[in-house]
Structure 1
Amino acid sequence: MPVYEYKALDSKGKRVSGILDAESPRLARARLRSDGLYPVEIHSSSQVEVALQEPGMASRGLQMGRFLRRVKPQDRAALTRQLATLVGAGIPLVSALDTVIQQISNNALRRALVDIREEVMGGSSLADAMGNHRWLFSELYVNMVHAGESSGALEAVLHRLADLLERTVKLRNRVQAALFYPITMMGIGIVVLAFLLTYVVPIVTRLFAEAKQRLPRPTVILIGTSDFLIHWCWALLLAALMATLLVHRILVTPGGKLWWDKLKLRLPMAGSLYRRLVIARFSRTLGVLLQGGLPLTSSLAIVQHVIDNSYMAQHVEKAIQDVNEGEDLTVSLERSKSFPPMVIQMISAGERSGTMEEMLLRIAEAYEDEVETRIAALTSLLEPFLILVMGLMVGFIVLAILLPILQMSRLLG
């Protein structure tokens, strides 16, 4: 059934918009009128897709499509949790999708769910229907749903997926919240220093230039820095922009991305923190996939594309080859020297006892908790450090301004 986007006026004259499915535009307008809405504009959602494919609009359409189809991770997690609850309550899948669609406010997400519902009504499996919307549902998501449908445990799989998505969102939010204050403070400090050096300092130092006396070295340094920022600020911004573009061009290449991913793992302090994040994602994703009933090699192949680090992904790819040749997973991971001994020992214990997925989820929880603790500790140290640096910079500016004033007062006295 076609899907239409509409703009209409309600009984109070307020403008509303949304999507609905109907056999034809005429029936769509009739349905809107029956709901007490006066249709102003209505068109098929497929017209947008066709327009984006016209010559000369491919690149702009791709960027516009990505922007318009942006779905927050928490929305995807809420959708999965709602669908799992409805399926667990014994509601048929199509009816469950109908209920979820009515509660979704994101137009892009709602449109995708309407398409999925139509495909399911047409005989497709839920996994196949979701697979046609890879911008919304990842390979991990689609394969988990496929395994749940094949084993008859779709509810359990959806709940595990919801747990995984919610945990990922929660960890990301905590990291962002911990870094928000230091980053904001740093940004405000840079703006304040730029204002002092480009506006306040030139006004004050103009008096010193008129006095035509020898200035102390801190004052000379301050005046030189201020003049450089005023006259060459555009060059600094241009150089920063060119450097950013050059680095981006390098990092989008496979070799550049591999070098950068390897460097991130070896950075002092931040490297060990980032490694724990990657291992936590590896462990949680692999544990959830194994819980969903996927084979080990298939799960590792999905994890390889999920961990978002090409250097670690190389080791996972080598582990897939070794496991296919009959080698234990722990042997291959230990040989890579990228996984800590504790992780190797816990996975080995899980292999021997047949509880690998449980061990992997324990590893993920331990590392995620450790990451949160370390970030909190680092930010608690970073805040006073930033205050100290800002104090030293402002103190130097005050000192550079006061020294010639004291010198002039001494001469006058």
Structure 2
Amino acid sequence: MLYTYRAVDQSGKTVSGEREAGSERELADMLRHDSYLLLEAKLPAKAGQRFEFLKRIPMPFRRISLVERMGFSRNLAVMIGAGLALTRALEALAEQTSNPKFREIVTSIRDSVTTGKSFADSLRSHEKVFGVLFINMVEAGEISGNLERALKILAQQMKRDYDLRSKVRSAMIYPAIVVGALVLIGVLMMVYVVPTLTQTFQELEIELPLTTRVIIGTSNFLLRYYWYILAVAGIGAMGMARLLRSQAGKSAFDTIILRVPIFGVLVQKYNSARFARTLSSLIASGIPITRALEVTASVLGNSHFRQSFEEAAKEIQHGKPISEILRRHPNLFPPMVTQMVEVGEETGTIVRMLLRLALFYEEEVTNTTKNLSSIIEPVLMIVIGAIVGFFAVSMIQPIYGSLGNI
């Protein structure tokens, strides 16, 4: 296979080219033999990748994706491990990235490091991009003199987080698409099909059953007041978005989500996996437990999980163990979580226990998303069949009734 690659030499100079290799690993070995370190390798674009060039279009407001940050962390760890100076490694990464916004940020960080600032302090100027977790892990790595290890842990952390998000997102996409398509088809039927049938019924002077009159009435309402409906929907959406940005609104929404069958369990397992892996990574990097709990709280999406760790960060300073604080929230943390954390605290193996919890709940998220798909699909089919059947019977019944009277 012909690979297009980017590599860096011992002086930090980036080179690119094409080379035949059986696999990416074989390509890396070939380049290493020539004193080059592989940064990126790509096969020729397939049909499904023909729009890849769109990613290179400059976008001032384009977000820095988790995948880009993950690649940055992993590649930086590899280059530092190979003996490159931090500034040269950052320069190579800036040249390699295809996102102009991210290239600008990495260049800014390199310039800041060149002036004598620490890597962590340079990252703090871009906290919204990298996040509190990333910066604290890097700072711990710099203090301990093991930045490479901290970056590897970060890359692994982000990879796990990306996998979890992808699984949860994929479980939600199918029902969202089906429901969206159902609503769109329903609106089109009400706006175009029903008025035509209504005119036919009027010409035939057919007596209409209640269900047919309800559908026709709904169609007339949509056609007559659609501007008002759109305005109310827009105002409602903006009001809901504003409410969810408030602390009270977010808390209420998170409470409702946790109580929804199946989805609530999925949210609980997802946040449990994230907290366990994040906290274990922070403690393993040498970050003080109080700060580790504060950072863990900041990365959790559900406000109730976040508040429980903020509470733990405050109370642990008074000598209370984490397990005792988590035990106060049985609706969030099952007995297994509190017991394993307690054992870890008592035996001094909390990092190992948290990693086991993370692996367990990551597997649980995978299983739950699979089960969710198998449950939702037949339910959606039943709902769609019922709606289509109701519409068909309601609109066709009067026609058959009139034919029977002829």
Q: TM-score range by the shorter chain?
A: 0.7 to 0.9
> Displacement of 1:69 after TM fit?
4.9
1:121 corresponds to: 114
Check the 8 A contact 1:280/1:363 in 2, yes or no. yes
For the pair 1:402 / 2:387, whether they are aligned, the reply is: no
Q: 1:247 Cα deviation (Å)?
A: 2.2
Letter in 2 for 1:355: T
Equivalents in 2 of 1:263, 1:410: separation in Å?
Answer: 51
Deviates most, 161-170 or 264-273 = 264-273
1:206 alignment partner, one of 188, 199, 202: 199
1:383-398 matched pairs, under 5 angstroms: 383-398=377-392
Give the deviation of 1:66 after TM superposition.
Answer: 10
Once the two structures are superposed, the pairs formed by residues 125-204 of structure 1 within 5 Å of their partners are 125-204=118-197
TM-score, length-scaled by structure 1: 0.80
Report the RMSD for the aligned CA atoms in angstroms: 1.9
1:382 aligns with 2:359: no
Q: TM-score, normalised by structure 2?
A: 0.81
Inter-partner Cα distance in structure 2 for 1:245 and 1:69: 22
Q: Distance in 2 between matches of 1:404 and 1:94?
A: 78
SS in 2 for 1:259: helix
CA distance in 2, matches of 1:225, 1:278: 42
CA distance in 2, matches of 1:106, 1:199: 45
Deviation, 1:113, is 1.0
1:75 matched residue in structure 2: 68
Q: Tell me which residue corresponds to 2:229.
A: 236
Alignment length (residue pairs): 348
Matched, 1:299 2:299: no
Structure 1 residues 335 and 406: alpha-carbon distance in aligned structure 2, compared to 1, 3 A threshold? closer
Deviations, residues 290-325 of structure 1 (Å, cap 9, x unaligned): 111111111011112121333222221221222111
* Residue equivalent to 1:342: 336
Q: Does 1:321 align with 2:314?
A: yes
State which of 303, 310, 318 in structure 2 corresponds to 1:310.
303
Which amino acid in structure 2 is aligned with residue 324 of structure 1? Answer: Q
With over 3 angstroms needed to count, the CA separation of the structure-2 counterparts of 1:173 and 1:313, relative to structure 1, is closer
1:107 Cα deviation from its structure 2 partner:
1.0
Q: Secondary structure at the match of 1:90?
A: coil
In structure 2, the CA distance between the partners of 1:310 and 1:118, relative to structure 1 (3 Å rule), is: same
For 2:215, the equivalent position in structure 1 comes to 222
Q: Percent identity?
A: 37
Cα offsets for 1:357-408 (capped at 9, x unmatched): 1211221221122122112211222122222222222222221222122221
Per-residue CA distance 1:271-308 (angstroms, 9 max, x = gap): 22212212221111111101111111110111121213
- Residue of structure 1 equivalent to 2:86: 93
Tell me, yes or no, if the aligned pair for 2:276 and 2:358 is still in contact at 8 Å.
yes
User: Residue 294 of structure 1 aligns to a residue in which SS?
Assistant: coil
Letter of the structure 2 residue corresponding to residue 382 of structure 1: I
Runs (5+) with no aligned partner, structure 2? 1-57
- Cα displacement (A) at 1:208: 1.1
Q: Distance between the aligned counterparts of 1:335 and 1:66, measured in 2?
A: 46
Give 4+ residue runs of structure 1 displaced > 6 Å after superposition.
none
User: Counterparts of 2:206 and 2:97 in 1: how far apart (Å)?
Assistant: 72
Whether 1:261 aligns to 2:254 is yes
Asked if the contact 1:334/1:344 (under 8 Å) is kept, the reply is yes
Deviation at 1:67, TM superposition (A): 5.4
Tell whether the 8 Å contact from 1:282 to 1:307 is kept in structure 2 after alignment: yes
